[in-house]
A and B are shown apart, each in its own frame.
Chain A
Amino acid sequence: MSWFHRNPSSDVAKERLKLILVQDRSLLPNDQFERMKGELINVLNGYFEFNRSEIRLNIQRNVQKTVFEATVPVISVKRGK
């Protein structure tokens, strides 16, 4: 692409900024992440039997979106109530 047809740098800046802020804002501070993990385990505990050490939590970011992924191998489903 020739120099004359490049995007205006202000547009480039805005696009870069948006992507950077999406990433920055999705970063959970460590203490909050641990707290969320604890709360999540408490909730799941009411419904499933599982092994705490096998839980995998992951936050993935790409250009369009941020995905929070939790993998919880279930031993059995708690019945009743």
Chain B
Amino acid sequence: MGRTFVVTAGKGGVGKTTVTANIGASLAKLGKKVVVVDMDIGLRNLDVVMGLENRVVYNIMDIIDGRCKINQALVKDKHLNSLFLLPASQVHTKDDIDIDKVVDIISTIEGSFDYIFLDSPAGIEKGFESAVAPASEALIIATPDVSSVRDADRVIGLIENRGVTDISLIINRYDVNMVGKKKMLDFGSVVEVLGIDLIGIIPEDKVVIDSTNRGEILVSYVNGSPATKAFENIAKRVNGEEIPLMDFTQNRGLFGIFRRRR
């Protein structure tokens, strides 16, 4: 049976879709069979981030409405044979989603995949609910700023109320230099106020935008960049390996980033 995660944040623009694609791809590189599901009905983007927009034929609403079978809607990744996208519909709205049917679809594919990631839309309305309902675990994405952490806190409360107890935090777009200058919240403060387990920190890294421009998932496109390593480490932790956090505690420039704890 596969493990089903919701990737969510509350706030928009913090990197839910990028994180979903990269962790999914990293797990596929580890040999896992992965499907990433775009739950942003009406504003789909996961296909674009993965560079698969020209290969989308059917989408999750077509499955719900009986126009296609689940397998027909799955789009295989360009590079990774064990990574699949289940696209969102672009012509429907979130109100058109039948949450029970989404839960049915996901529980059907849980038998054929190791990992399922549901990329939640921003907000806490029906789109969010339909991304949370099938999941038993959650990855909360927050950037180190007051608005994002506030929204993350709200979303954590909502998810806990829905019975998801396995909740981990990913801090995205972390700028070690700004933290060193005390111009950005440090990860310890974010973890302290949110009170959930930290599973990884993704450093601000210009290669993310560059690869997204090209429709390439970063971890398939750039080897060894700080963000690539961070995504790969998170994937390994999700997969049960014990990988120490990159050392962000000392401001040592790039060398500090790569220096492991102890």
Give A contacts to B, CB under 8 Å. 8-11, 13-14, 16-18, 20-21, 24-25
Q: Is the interface of B mostly helix, strand, loop or mixed?
A: helix
B183 in complex: contacting residue of A8, A14, A21, A25, CB < 8 Å: A8
Selected interface stretch from B42-50, B81-89, B148-156, B163-171:
B148-156
B contacts with A, residue count (CB < 8 A): 16
Query: Chain A contacts of B145 at CB under 8 A?
Result: 13
A37 CB to nearest B CB, Å: 20
Give B contacts to A, CB under 8 Å. 145-146, 149-150, 153-154, 157, 179, 181-186, 189, 193
List 6 contacting pairs A-B, 8 Å CB cutoff, sorted by A: A9-B182, A10-B184, A10-B185, A13-B145, A13-B184, A13-B185
Name the residue on B nearest A17 (C-beta).
B146
Are B149 and A10 within 8 A (Cβ)?
Answer: no
Query: Chain A contacts of B186 at CB under 8 A?
Result: 10
Query: Chain B contacts of A14 at CB under 8 A?
Result: 185, 189, 193
Query: Chain B contacts of A11 at CB under 8 A?
Result: 182
Known contacts A11-B182, A13-B145, A24 near B193 by CB under 8 Å:
no
Q: Give 9 new A-B contacts, CB below 8 A, not counting A13-B185, A17-B150.
A: A10-B189, A13-B145, A13-B146, A16-B146, A20-B150, A21-B150, A21-B153, A24-B153, A24-B154
